[in-house]
Homo-oligomer: A and B are copies of this chain.
């Protein structure tokens, strides 16, 4: 559904509600994709949203709910009866239910759990204890578990009867009596195998798995690497606790990239979406780094200050300060971005460190040569400055480019080596160091070059 389709559908919903034509609304929604319905009803006010939501065919309610933004889920939760809430939560997949419970006030959670079985309560409480963004916190318990001694025919029959409530039936996991993970077998293999074959003979023993406490970034990396539909999650005793399916991974890959974008722009990452955050929350995540960077930029100021003798003699020097620091900043940002991103996607590892630094230095030599020649010509041709000044500027640009390429490659690798997040390192220190070094060489050379005049 693109934007024009979206507004068209939204108008149509509005019209039906204004005309109180709820029968037509109901049958329209029955034909629509749940993702699209979720998007449309989120835009209505509380009362209308609830009205539409209650019009949904029973089996679609929980599905639509699961695709709504958390903020809007809570709007629904706060308006419906306890009975309705329990019935929605029961229909949700376990991982989606946990997501909702995590965001709800404790008293609501208690109320919801009061009416469920002791087993469910125990399981929910266990899940709520997994650390945020861990594999345990995103896994689901609705998987197909087979026994090694089942035949293909028995397995298919078992899948047929229990499969409807499972998040995926395409990868089935084989457990022993102690719930230890023995292997996995895809539905494809089951379907194309002889019906009397034993599961243990067609399963794959070399299982790729994650641990309950692994970070979601580790999970996403394994998915990207191996291309599986689902990964099993095991505890310390190699007992199968749940599975994570590929559809949750796309969101995580995007989330992780967003986090890196924010960190590299000197913002403390937040789990909340932009539109859900107040200006105060947004400001709170940005001000600390702005302050740190502002204070550290005064170091650069001190360098300028230290050279005010030569500056007052040659005011023209100040004209080139923004160009020199900006060029250094841009070169450093290019190198650090490339290196940080290549480390994040796994293309570069610590084993490549020297190769990368050496490569960036050669890029710096090439770029530095081009930029300093262009600069020399520009200063000579388009300003009234002397060749001496032009040479000074060119030399500074060359030095700045090479140095900032070198530093832009070195610092993220160094950060990784000492277990600091490279993305944070990038925003915090690179600009300040480059600015200082560039201005130091600029004015120091100026004193040598120009004092003789």
Binding site for B on A (CB under 8 A): 3, 31-33, 35, 156, 159-160, 163-164, 169-170, 187-188, 191-192, 206, 208, 223-227, 229, 246-247, 249-251, 253-254, 257-258, 260-262, 264-267, 273-275, 279-280, 282-283, 286-287, 289-291, 293-295, 297-298, 300-302, 304-305, 308, 311-312, 315-316, 318-323, 325-327, 329-331, 333-334, 336-338, 341-342, 345, 347-352, 355-356, 359, 362-363, 366-367, 370-371, 374-375, 378, 397, 401, 431-432, 435, 439
Contact = CB atoms under 8 A, between A and B. Distances in A.
Contact of A251 (B224, B262, B366): B224
A198 B32 CA distance: 22
Contact of A226 (B35, B308, B320, B342): B35
Given A226-B35, A262-B338, A308-B315, A293 B326 contact: yes
A283 B366 contact: yes
The prevalent SS among residues of A at the interface is: helix
A35 B188 contact: no
Contact of A337 (B226, B264, B439): B264
Given A160-B192, A261-B341, A266-B334, 7 more contacts: A224-B250, A253-B257, A265-B333, A286-B334, A290-B334, A294-B371, A302-B319
A442 to B, nearest CB: 12
A301 B316 CA distance: 9
A206 B316 CA distance: 68
Contacts of A331: 286, 290
